[in-house]
Every structure is written in C-alpha cells, then in structure tokens.
Chains A and B, each alone.
Chain A
Amino acid sequence: MHSAVSHSLLVTRSTRMSRFVVASVVGHVVLLVAAILYARFSGGPKVDMNAQPIRATLVRLGKPRDAKLLPRKEQLPPPPKEVNAPKPAPEPAKPPPSSNAVAVPVPGVKPEPASAPKPEPVKGEREGEDRRKRLFGAFDKTAKAAPEEDPEGAEDGDPDGDSATAEGERYFGLLQAQVRRHYSVADTIPESERMHLKALVALRLGRTGEVLDVSLTKPSGNDLFDSAVVAAVRKASPFSPPPDHLRDALQKSGVNLMFNAL
C-alpha cells in the first residue's frame, strides 16, 4: 500500500525534476515571445501582388513510335529565306504632323520627343516580320559575338599549361569553325570526285582580324570547288582579332587552310 502511494503520479513531490520543468517552461515561453516579437517587427515575407504566376504543365512523355508503323519525316520549321537582293532601305520616319495641326504646349506636361515615334505595327504580318528580324538579328549578334570571347585561360586550367599555345590553338579552332560554317560546295560535283578534292588556301589576317589576302596556293583542279573554298573564307571574314603573340605571324606569313571536300 505504501509503495503504491509513493509511486502515484498524483502525489506532489519535490524532486530535482521540478526545477528542470520550470526552466523548460520559462525557456519555451521566452522563445515563443521572441518569435512573436520578431515576426511582428520584421514585417514578414514580402508578397509581390504583380508577380505573374508560373504556369507549369505536365506533358506526357511521348511514346516512341511503334516500330511496326511507317516512319514520319521530322517537321522542321522552314529555314529563313536568304535574301540575296539588297535589303530595302529602312522605312523613312513618319513626316511631322501636317501644318494644319497646331501643337499647343500644355504647361507642366513635357512634349513627347517627336524624333522617336513608337513603332506601330500596322498589320499583323509586318509585326511578325519585325519580330522575326529582331529574333534573327539577335541570333546574328550571338553568332558574331561568340568568336570574340576574351581568350583567357580556363579557371580550372593547368597552372603549368602554356597559355600562349592554348590561346593560339583556341584562336585557330575559332577560325576553323567560322570558315566551316560557310563551307558549302556545289552538289554538281560528281560523288566519285569528291573524295579526291583537296585545296590549299593561304590566308593573311590584319591586327583586327580583317582579311588582308586570300589566295589559292594549291588548287584542286575543280573550279567549282576552288571558288567554293575561297568563298568560304571570304564569307567567314572578318575574324576576331588574333591574340598578341600571333598577330605579327598572321600578318606576315599568315595561316594555311587545307580544305577536303569530304
């Protein structure tokens, strides 16, 4: 009986535990108050009412085409038409409003600068055309900008690496890629001849990467191929400025470009 009473939870006892309980309760209260105060004064997370919701749609993963079905052609968007004819001159700015209209200056209101009228899309077609031009203009820019990257050493490069050699190789790599982008040859050349076609072109570049001289030093013997390789170099120019240590060499002795048809 005695032992049962002494173990009852209802019996108040003064043990060391009670001190811990009190400390714990006080600690929690302090933390709670601190949190409430912090929330009150810090203002909470900012909510931007103008933010656009991000729409995410789950798209079902396309099933691979049944192997028993006939293949379909990949539908590529039609490539932008190359315009060979000279581009039409930009539309002349709108003439100033006719003399009948009298511009009355309103005090306090600054007149809109007349020289920069907002482009008003007259027709949907023109708008689309403009947008396309802008888009391809942007592509052109990136295409041109790419080779002009600052040829610095790589962050994770080898500390013992010869930066000059790497820079040179990198420059020649850019040169190669740029020429190759314009390297297209007529389909009229018989397939049997294509594997034997080789031509050597000597190229000298100025300090800013401009072409000083392109010459066919070893022609292939096929006029169409020969003119195509020279055209590829001319179309690819101007190149980005050569690195310092190559500048003189590229100006004096230049670089050889060995073209293979295949």
Chain B
Amino acid sequence: MASADARDGDGRRASLLYDPSVRAYAYQALTVLVVGWLIWQAWSNAAENLARANMTAGFGFLSGRAGFDLGQALMAYSSDSTFARALTVGLLNTLLVGVLGIITATIVGLLIGIGRLSKNWLIARLCTIYVELFRNIPPLLVIFFWYKGVLSILPDFRAIRAGVEQAKAADPSVGDPLFIISNRGISFPAPIFQPGFGAVWIALAAAVLGAIGFTLWANKVQAATGKRPPALLVSVALIVLLPLAVFFAAGQPIAFDYPVLGRFNLSGGGLISPEFLSLYLALSLYTASFIAEIVRAGIRGVPSGQFEACSALGVRSDRAMRLVILPQAMRIIIPPLTSQYLNLIKNSSLAVAAGYPDLVQVGNTILNQSGRAIEVIAIWMIVYVTISLVTSVFMNWFNARMALRER
C-alpha cells in the first residue's frame, strides 16, 4: 500500500477516504473495536453470571480435595489428593497414550505404506483395504469398537477367579497366576526397584552413550576405509549385557508386586486397563492409516531413477529402500507427519468417551463436580496449545535437519 500522496486527475490531493494507508488504519481500528467489544461483552456477562451463581473465577480451587478416584495413575494419587494433582495425573496419562500411540502408529503406518507399494498383489490389496477401511471411519467409533471388541474377546474375570479357586482347593500349593488377562484388563507383576537399582540405571545410560559413541566411530571408519565395523551388533550387546551384568553384580535389587485375586476385584501388581487398551489401539490403528498414505506419497515422490540407479549399482532392494529411498522420502513425509502426530495427541482427548482418565476426562469430572467451567477449559486449552507448539517446534527442528542441504 504505497501512494502516500494520492492525487486525483487535476493534481489536487485526493480525499483521505481514498488513501489506502488511511483505509488500512480505519479497518484495523474497526477490527480492534469489534473484537474488543465482543470480548468485553463476554467478560462482563460471564462476571455477572458468575456473581448470580455466587461463584468467583480463579484457580484457587485447584488446591482443594479432589474426592474422586482415577482408574490409572502414573504417580501417587488417592481421592484425598488435590485437584491440581488429579489434573497432573490426567496430563501424564494423555502423554503416555500419546507417545505410545505415536510410536505404534509410525511403525504400523510405515509398514502398511510400504506394503501398499509392494509388488506382492495380496499384500498390496490387504494394505489398501486397511487404509480405506480405517481412515473413513470416525476415531470415536473405532474406540467404541475396540472397547466392545476387546471386552468381548477377553475372558470374564469371575470365571477366571472361579477356576483359580478350584485349582487352589485341589492343590493348596498353587498360588495366584502371575499374569491375569480378563475383562478387567491385563494384570502383571509390577517391579519395585530396591535402593541398589540406581546402579543399573547408570549402567544403562552408560551403555546407551557407549553405543552412540561406537556408532559414530563406526561411521567414521566406514567413511575412511569403506568397511563398517558391526555397529548394530556391538550396540545391542552393550545395551543388553552391561546393565544385566551390573544387575547381577548388585545382587538383583528388584522385587515384584504380584497381582492378587481378591473376592470382588484384582489388587496389587500392574494393570493395563481395557479403557487404555481400546483408546491406544484405536488411536494407533486410525492414525496409522493416515501415516501409511503419507509414507506412500513420500516414496512415490522420490524419482524412479533413484531406484533404477540403485539396481544398476547392485544395491539390494531392502538396502536401497533404507539407505537411498527412505532418507529422500523423509523430506516429503515429515511435514504432514507432524500434523498427524498432533492429530493423534489431540484425538487422545476422545478418552472421555472410553472412560480413560486423561486430561479431558479428569477435567470433565472436575467441571461437573465443582462447576469451574472457565478455569478447567482454560487449563485444557493452555495445555493442548503448549503440547502442539512443543511438538511442532521439535518436528520443525527435525525437518530442518533432514532437509536437503544444497552445496
């Protein structure tokens, strides 16, 4: 918008009305006024409505007693804990299902996406059916489907308990089973780390660092001599054997909390709830169908000359895929992949329908219990926007690293 001295045909100064920059200021002032008025209206109405309901806005309520139980908590939590702690537990559960879902969806999506391009007719067809089936059905329906499906396939808890009690009556030396898979979820012995276990963690960290160092050194040797030391083998051996050796040297400092079959319920041990399973499976498999399409588009975006050059050089097709095609396809894949990751994290809020205690489900309980609508929704929004921003910053950094560096 140039023309600071717009003049009409006779050379006189044109009316200010026709000056683009003046108009721009006017439009912006108008926008500010309208938006400001809307916010002011909403604000004052909300204040009045709250006053009528005898409530005050503010986050003070967060230190109050929650008074409800949560089905799954990654940190110590009881109904005597505060609202703030309940929300933190919810956030951790959101992150747990988000991270596990992203990992699974990426692996499944990559396999299905490559499978769709396979020369194997049957595999390609099955992968196509998978993609077309899952991406055209609402994720919420997939969650219900898995919830009903998982629950109906798993054996009834009471039947299992009856069976175990029968076995106990016949032979008193029989204890409770270590793993119990029932419609109450999958129970397993939960490890309890004894004081000496810290050394094992340190050994694991050292082994990972060592493995990274060895791989870097192997890269250097390969660049210099053309021969690659067995980096993968050494890394795996290091990561598995070193912590194991320290573990036995320290006298196996670990105990297990075994599941106990109670009269009405399971207690003790770790439990993977059916709610978590259905949400996790649904999110992973739903997102995998989108990732598969992204991967397929990425691979097809690599010029076919790259495949042909590989075969001309005698590179095996799996190595060509891993060393030549996929790194180039990654440049096409990463940006849409980022938005799929974000979608998965946002879709994990569907937990509220499955009864998995994520941030939204916990918040919804608090909202219904205390009526703190504005505060709870504000917390949700802030947390999700933050997660989205952090994820996109990380993926942008990763994208910049993978991007084509032209010399």
Decide whether A and B assemble into one complex: no
Residues of A within 8 A of B (CB): none
